[in-house]
Amino acid sequence: MTASAETSGIANLEPLNRAREQRAWNWYDWANSAFYTTILTVLFGPFMITVAGKAAGCGSDPDDTCTQTVNVLGLHLAAGSLPSYLTSFATILSAFLLPVVGAFVDRATNKKLHMAAFAWAGSFFAALLFFMRGDHWQLGAFAVIMSSILGGCSLVSYYAILVDISSEDERDRVSSRGWAWGYLGGGLLLAINLVMVLGYDSLGISKELAVRLSMLSAAIWWAAFTIIPFRRLRAHPPRHVVPSSGTLMQRSFGQLVVTLKELRQFPMTLTFLVAYLFYNDGIQTVIYSASIYGSKELHFGQSVLIGAILLIQFVAFGGALFFGRLAARHGAYKSLLWGTFAWMVIVVVAMFLPDRNIPLFLVVGVAIGVVLGGTQALSRSFFSLLIPRGREGEYFALYNACERGTSWFGTLLFGVMFQLTGSYRPAIVSLIVFFLLGAFFLLRLDPRRGIREAGNVVPQVV
């Protein structure tokens, strides 16, 4: 065999190597989804309202809305709005921290190490939620802020790795499968937690302890399954080296300034980021507020709420794969636009849901599941095409500042609307403004131009 043939044979193994890494990469979606599903989406919001409500002097009935206030650094905040404000605060901090993390990731020779380190630190703080009990809400507030920020930091490296392990034509498929795998993992743990929360009597424990153990299990799940991608992913060298001087923090903040200035040279990338900021804030707030809305406004018990979220998880598994196929046929851009229109319909219908009507509530849950996985997966893969080569960490950091579980415009509006009206119905329908603005900016986007300006290969179908 000639040397050229040997070289050719070795080169032909690269698609197989990418496929192995893509399978390993999926496991981090599986790992971190437990935190976002069990803790942020289902259990933390209602449990924090109950715990803070006790401190505020609200009634003992968990189905009653609580408008009494607790003192947070001199501010009097309604206990019913406290989870929304905590999420907003975590995201404001992330907006300053994540771009610095991204600049560091682009210079790193081992992105998977940074991903795992942030994940394990985040899971540690998430585990502290186990100690939130009675009327002691302060530790839980601190823990959820820290775990949310660190989770966002881990996703900066995780998303940047997507570019290292897939070609432009593979991105939609790889990203969709990752999201689908995440929904499957998050749904599986949620099913286990459903058994624990609903069957606490048979287990000989209190409902409060069942909720706390469920949140602890999500933290352990997050930490344990992160080991798989950490061990199986390869270390990829930086794709872009920026001459630098000064300390690490000076280089990182300096690069952040450069990134923000250079972003104006990529108008389509900037347009998509603005669109994503709005429609993703709407998506994240719908996901975050679903359990609060169902519990406090529609007066469903915890079993119905967890069952509905579990349904959404498994429907979203199929929805992510469906949107991946839709993108293969019609392109990620059009699929995202159609998904944004579907979200507008969902929030309007949700406002008019009657109290305690389980079938209609589950129908809306199915609709959410279908578009949820698809819009999130395609947003990630489509944005990767708009990033200048070698700048994935920096740009995904900006992207991640408004990623799942860290939106703040939406949660802030949701909390303020409740505080002004005392009802979650106007709070939920007010979110339509984010989808309208998202669609407006998407319609101003030329995807092919944006991909070419970033120096990437335009896929066969965009």
Q: For 16-27, what is each residue's pLDDT tens digit?
A: 888 899 999 999
Neighbours of 285 (CB within 10 A): 27
Residue 132 in this model has a pLDDT that exceeds 60: yes
Backbone angles phi, psi at 76, to 5 degrees: -100, 105
Helix runs in 298-357, H state only: 302-330, 332-351
The lowest-confidence range among 207-221, 291-305, 328-342, 369-383 is 291-305
Backbone angles phi, psi at 133, to 5 degrees: -155, 165
Give the span between the Cα atoms of 155 and 284, in whole angstroms: 16
Query: What is the per-residue pLDDT across 409-450, written as a single tens digit (0 to 9) for each?
Result: 787 888 888 888 888 888 898 999 999 999 999 999 999 999
Residues in Cβ contact with 273 at an 8 Å cutoff, skipping those fewer than 6 apart: 263, 383, 398, 399
| Helix pair 267-292, 409-421: axis angle to 10 deg | 40
> How far lies 61's CA from each of 53, 58, 64, 66, 78, in Å?
10, 9, 6, 10, 17
Residue 401 · residue 96 · CB < 8 Å: no
Residue 237: strand, helix, or coil: coil
Give the span between the Cα atoms of 296 and 427, in whole angstroms: 12
pLDDT of residue 129: 95
Radius of gyration of the chain (CA): 22
Give the span between the Cα atoms of 88 and 408, in whole angstroms: 4
> How far lies 72's CA from each of 58, 137, 191, 374, in Å?
17, 11, 34, 37
- pTM for the whole structure: 0.81
Residue 172 · residue 332 · CB < 8 Å: yes
Q: What residue type is assigned to position 428 of the chain?
A: I
Which of 109, 218, 123, 121 shows the shortest CA–CA distance to 157? 109
Compute the residue count for the chain.
462
Residue 232 in this model has a pLDDT that exceeds 80: yes
pLDDT of residue 405: 43
Residue 199 CA neighbour count, 13 Å, CB half:
8
Task: Give DSSP secondary structure letters for 52-113.
Answer: HHHHHT--S-TTS----EEEETTEEEEGGGHHHHHHHHHHHHHHHHHHHHHHHHHH-S-HHH
Query: What is the per-residue pLDDT across 234-250, written as a single tens digit (0 to 9) for each?
Result: 888 776 555 555 555 55
